[in-house]
């Protein structure tokens, strides 16, 4: 099922089908306890609610008897007034890398609402990466590593030149189709900066392919099998077959997304980069993993 099919289904759902979809994909809680008496609340149909449902305490001994709690409590959707159906569409447009103005136009939400959505989704991406740090490679698996400049000098004196060059280290696991990547902003290309990032992401025993930058020279001492290609003469070593084309392709995709956004927000470079990386790594995910970023604890 592709994104267009999912969007079509969500659009056509009646309210009961939408609720079942939310429960099935763990986007809202299936159970809710009363804050006062800690007894399971009952899901009730209330037509004055946006989703026509709400949790209600039916414990007659509770001081909050018949009081209600939103089905959004504890979920990604909590605090939004926008219908969940619309927010689901915004999420799918976002994960499929639609541009901001198109998402606003397609979904009909306001700029303010999208800004709130975007701020929250970036926070979820950051939290997800903290809880699920990426680990690439393993014995016999090739990981490609390269540095790339995300801001470029202006040519022919056209446009506004960036105040400071922004560099990132990109790491790609070639055992996945398409390759999975990770990128991190770096202050410089010294060994003291690059090697700790590689050690954080790449499993010892992996095969690492890089160019001949001297900072990578210690990788063998760090427990990796390290091969290089000299880009001065070849894109792919004619003898060993070593190349970094997967990571270079990933870098091109990163830069294209940055260009679509007309740059990345000053002071939020790493958050913006992690957001783009999440989208690239999940742009073809199936329905069962589509909502892994925003599902509630099962």
Please write the tens of the pLDDT for every residue from 138-187: 999 999 999 999 875 444 445 554 557 889 999 999 998 888 999 999 99
The residue ranges of DSSP E strands in the chain, in sequence order, are 42-45, 53-56, 68-70, 142-149, 167-173, 180-186, 207-210, 225-228
What's residue 154's pLDDT?
A: 42
The pTM assigned to this predicted structure is 0.85
CA 216 to chain centre: 28
What's residue 157's pLDDT?
A: 44
In a domain, 11, yes or no: no
In a domain, 109, yes or no: no
Residues forming beta bridges with residue 227, ordered by sequence position? 209
What's residue 160's pLDDT?
A: 52
CA angle 164, 169, 175 (to 5 degrees): 155
Q: Distance between CA atoms of 54 and 42, rounded to whole angstroms?
A: 8
In a domain, 259, yes or no: yes
In a domain, 69, yes or no: no
- Token output for 4: 């267009």
The count of domains in the chain is: 1
- Token output for 253: 């995709």
In a domain, 279, yes or no: yes
In a domain, 66, yes or no: no
CATH number at 226 reads 3.30.420.10
Q: Distance between CA atoms of 197 and 187, rounded to whole angstroms?
A: 12
In a domain, 241, yes or no: yes
In a domain, 33, yes or no: no
Which segments of the chain have a pLDDT < 70? 1, 48, 152-163, 266-267, 298
The residue range of the domain holding 182 is 142-286
């Amino acid at each position: 099922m592709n994104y267009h099919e999912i969007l079509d289904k969500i659009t056509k759902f009646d309210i009961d089908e939408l609720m079942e979809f939310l429960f099935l994909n763990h986007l809202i809680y299936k159970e809710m306890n009363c804050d006062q008496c800690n007894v399971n609340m009952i899901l009730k149909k209330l037509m004055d609610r946006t989703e026509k449902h709400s949790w209600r305490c039916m414990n007659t001994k509770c001081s909050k008897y018949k009081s209600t709690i939103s089905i959004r409590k504890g979920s990604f959707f909590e605090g939004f007034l926008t219908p969940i159906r619309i927010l689901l569409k915004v999420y799918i447009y976002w994960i499929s890398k639609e541009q901001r103005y198109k998402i606003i136009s397609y979904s009909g939400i306001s700029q303010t609402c999208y800004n709130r959505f975007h701020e929250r989704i970036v926070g979820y991406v950051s939290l997800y990466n903290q809880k699920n740090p990426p680990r690439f490679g393993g014995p016999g698996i090739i990981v490609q590593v390269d540095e790339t400049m995300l801001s470029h000098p202006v040519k022919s004196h056209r446009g506004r030149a960036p105040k400071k060059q922004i560099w990132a280290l990109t790491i790609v696991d070639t055992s996945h189709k398409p390759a999975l990547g990770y990128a991190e902003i770096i202050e410089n290309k010294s060994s003291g900066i690059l090697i700790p990032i590689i050690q954080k992401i790449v499993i010892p025993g992996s095969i690492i392919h890089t160019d001949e930058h001297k900072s990578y020279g210690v990788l063998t001492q760090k427990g990796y099998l390290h091969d290089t290609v000299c880009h001065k003469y070849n894109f792919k070593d004619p003898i060993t077959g070593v190349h970094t084309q997967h990571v270079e392709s990933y870098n091109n995709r990163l830069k294209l997304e940055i260009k679509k956004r007309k740059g990345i927000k000053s002071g939020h470079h790493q958050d913006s980069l992690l957001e783009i990386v999440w989208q690239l790594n999940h742009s073809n995910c199936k329905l069962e993993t589509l909502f892994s970023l925003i599902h509630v604890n099962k």
